[in-house]
């Protein structure tokens, strides 16, 4: 049976996240920035999917998507969400909850045009989450856009944007032997973070 001090220390959760994230970037074989995004309808019907973290800091955690997709529609109707990072190589996970706000058009433009050109074309051609009669139809739309914008900048579709989750709660989970795991929750009250250990 394990003894000793808590490994997840009380303190500032963003600094702890940065430390864990840096370790994940070095150890995870694929997409250390992959996170599950959970949204819900106004009636409380949840849905979850994997997205990629594209920026984070004191203001929050940023991801990009088609605002006309299912998740975009749920965010518009209920702008609260939860994120989950699971780094299997480190046997750690982090849960983050908070309200969402849209990034500025300048931020969305900058990220859209930082992506590979084929990714820009794919996003512009996609009616994300809507029925598709065949994959060929989608690939044909990508090809048509590639021809239409050959030699020119691809404009960011107005419905392709980003969202920032402003954290009000973190939960750090550390795998331990014999399922004697360690959990600590951080909650924002005003401008102050408080924390408590939780039974695993």
Q: Is the dihedral of CA 187, 62, 46, 73 positive or negative?
A: positive
Q: Which residues contact 110 (CB under 8 A, 6 or more apart)?
A: none
- Hey, which residues does 194 pair with through a beta bridge? 187
| 8 Å CB contact between 13 and 170 | yes
Q: One of 179, 183, 184, 185 is an active-site residue; which one?
A: 179
179: annotated active-site residue: yes
Vertex 38 angle, CA 60 and 79, to 5° = 60
Q: Quote the longest CA-to-CA distance of the chain.
A: 65
Catalytic residues: 179
């Amino acid at each position: 049976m394990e003894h000793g001090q808590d490994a997840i220390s009380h303190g500032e959760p963003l600094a702890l996240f940065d430390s864990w994230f840096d370790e994940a970037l070095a150890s995870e074989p694929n997409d250390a920035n992959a996170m599950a995004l959970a949204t819900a309808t106004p009636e409380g019907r949840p849905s979850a999917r994997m997205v990629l973290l594209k920026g984070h800091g004191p203001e929050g955690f940023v991801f990009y998507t088609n605002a006309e997709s299912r998740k975009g529609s749920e965010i518009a109707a209920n702008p609260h969400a939860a994120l989950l990072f699971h780094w299997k190589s480190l046997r750690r996970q982090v849960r983050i909850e908070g309200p969402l706000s849209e990034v500025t058009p300048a931020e969305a433009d900058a990220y859209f045009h930082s992506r590979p050109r084929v990714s820009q074309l794919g996003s512009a051609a996609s009616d994300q989450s809507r029925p598709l009669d065949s994959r060929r139809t989608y690939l044909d739309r990508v090809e048509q856009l590639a021809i239409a914008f050959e030699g020119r900048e691809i404009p960011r579709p107005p419905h392709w944007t980003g969202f920032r989750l402003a954290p009000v709660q973190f939960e750090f989970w550390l795998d331990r032997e014999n399922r004697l795991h360690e959990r600590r929750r951080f909650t924002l009250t005003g401008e102050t973070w408080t924390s408590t250990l939780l039974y695993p």
